[in-house]
Amino acid sequence: MRAIGVFALVLAMASPALAGPGNSVIGGKKLEEDMVHNAGTGYPNTFYEWWNKGYKKLDWGLSADLTYADWGAARAGERTTIGGITVRTSGRFIKVGLGINAILRWNLASKKRPKVTNDTALLFKPGILVSGNRFDAFTFGIKGEMGVAVSIDVHERVSVVTGGFIPLTAFFSNQGISTQTFLPLLIRLGVEINASDRVAPWFFFDLGPGITFINTFDIFGTGNNNYTSFAWRIGAGTAFWGVLAKNKNKSDAAAVESEPAAEEPIE
């Protein structure tokens, strides 16, 4: 964490004019393109996102993901004592599943300074999950992820991303298995890089505590089965645009406008 902070500071001091990637998908900067695609993989899922530039400060989108661990974030298991030795059991409840999410992001503030530009946005990402759990029972999940994402442009092609996220999830299973609610409190460290005019790879790592409630409606209670553990998620991928005619024509038109007009020959 300290190394990333020092790296961002050095880049900020060395860069006189900072713009950063124009189409952020993990941070807080508003989209510049009308449509952006985003594909990534990591743990606990692999996903595709379809982003759209909305009205004024709003961006919206849809996403689908293949989940192979707990949906909102991976988690460590509950501590238990076996033979006088305290160990932590596996915290994985979901075995594999398919999720669909809506994406809403509202840019709250954009501050430009001589050496750095900051963008802060409010993120809301509700979704549903159809899956199987480790007991081979059908599981239906719902998610209400909320967060504050911050993009810090430290170079004309690089943005450091931070913020806080709460991917609250609840799992309902059949065969008499207790419902579960998982409440992670995550802090993000990430980076977005404008690799070309139409491609921006990214990477992030989220880490924080997570609270597991074995009975969904015991969130505000004092159930003995509730426990706290580490929660985390990691991902890498790329955002890309200009693959459809609408975006391609927009980019091509901008390139044509920037070219100087050819002089007519003198007869």
What ranges in the chain are assigned the alpha helix state H? 2-14, 245-258
The pLDDT tens digits for 11-46 are 444 444 456 788 999 999 999 999 999 999 999 999
Q: Tell me the one-letter amino acid at 104.
A: L
> Taking all residues of the chain, what is their mean pLDDT, rounded to a whole number?
82
Round to whole Å and give the CA distance between 71 and 184: 11
Q: Quickly count: other Cβ atoms within 10 Å of residue 224's Cβ.
A: 8
For residues 164 and 83, the model is more confident at: 164
pLDDT in tens, 187-231: 999 999 999 889 999 999 999 999 988 875 544 445 556 888 899
Query: What local confidence, expressed as pLDDT, does residue 214 receive?
Result: 80
Q: Give the tokens for residue 73.
A: 């974030």
Instruction: Answer positive or negative: Cα dihedral of 177, 65, 185, 229.
Output: positive
Which secondary-structure segment (H or E) carries 197? none
Report the pLDDT value the prediction gives residue 9, as an integer from 0 to 100.
Answer: 46
Question: Is 90 exceeded by the pLDDT of residue 160?
Answer: yes
Is the Cβ–Cβ distance between 143 and 16 less than 8 Å?
Answer: no
Q: What pLDDT shows up at residue 257?
A: 52
- How is residue 84 written in tokens? 């006088």
Helical H runs in 208-244?
none
